[in-house]
């Protein structure tokens, strides 16, 4: 038997919803061991220009409780090389709604240098954290 195939994905996972679950389930089906990074509150504010509704510790605990997840880590940088240097993974999973995005084209090129394949998984249409945020405002 060969070595374990290690997968990695990261996100904010604020107001956890079915799209998040589908991403984790699909990612786990393609690897033996799945590491999930959860973006820190500071990182979320830096790149999304808004605060997470659910605090980091709670978001990490939610992710940790999901059966498809083998390990959880805090993420303080969008640079995937930073996370790879901490946890040498083989596959990097992201939703296919990012395919063709300049940032992800660059990420693919960078990760290829480390032997990491970027795998685009089907994006779940419908529920998003942004949509949930808008619904909360309506109430």
Task: Give pLDDT, residue 2.
Answer: 62
pLDDT tens sequence for the chain (139 residues): 468 999 999 999 998 999 999 999 999 999 999 999 999 999 999 988 889 999 999 999 999 999 999 999 999 999 999 999 999 999 999 999 999 999 999 999 999 999 999 999 998 877 666 665 565 556 5
How far is residue 136's CA from residue 139's CA, in Å, rounded to a whole number? 5
Q: Are 122 and 19 in contact (CB under 8 A)?
A: no
CATH number attached to the domain at 6-138:
3.40.50.620
Q: Are 62 and 36 in contact (CB under 8 A)?
A: no
Query: Phi/psi of residue 120, each to 5°?
Result: -90, 120
Catalytic-labelled residue, pool 50, 85, 86, 135:
50
Q: Are 111 and 83 in contact (CB under 8 A)?
A: no
107 SS3 class: helix
User: Virtual CA dihedral for 9, 118, 25, 31, nearest 10 degrees?
Assistant: -100
How far is residue 67's CA from residue 44's CA, in Å, rounded to a whole number? 25
- Check: pTM over 0.85? Answer yes or no: yes
* 48 a catalytic residue: yes
In the chain, what are the domain boundaries? 6-138
DSSP 8-state class, residue 14 = T
């Amino acid at each position: 038997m060969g070595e374990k195939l290690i997968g990695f994905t990261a996100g904010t996972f604020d107001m956890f919803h079915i799209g998040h679950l589908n991403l984790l389930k699909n990612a786990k089906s393609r690897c033996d061991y799945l590491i999930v990074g959860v973006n820190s509150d500071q990182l979320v504010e830096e790149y999304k220009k808004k605060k997470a509704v659910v605090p980091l510790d709670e978001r990490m605990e939610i992710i940790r409780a999901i059966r498809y997840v083998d390990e959880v880590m805090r993420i303080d940088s969008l640079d995937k090389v930073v996370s790879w240097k901490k946890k040498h993974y083989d596959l990097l999973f992201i939703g296919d709604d990012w395919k063709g995005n300049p940032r992800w084209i660059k990420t693919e090129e960078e990760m290829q240098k480390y032997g990491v394949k970027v795998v685009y998984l089907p994006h779940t249409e419908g529920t998003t954290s942004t949509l949930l945020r808008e619904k909360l405002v309506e109430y």
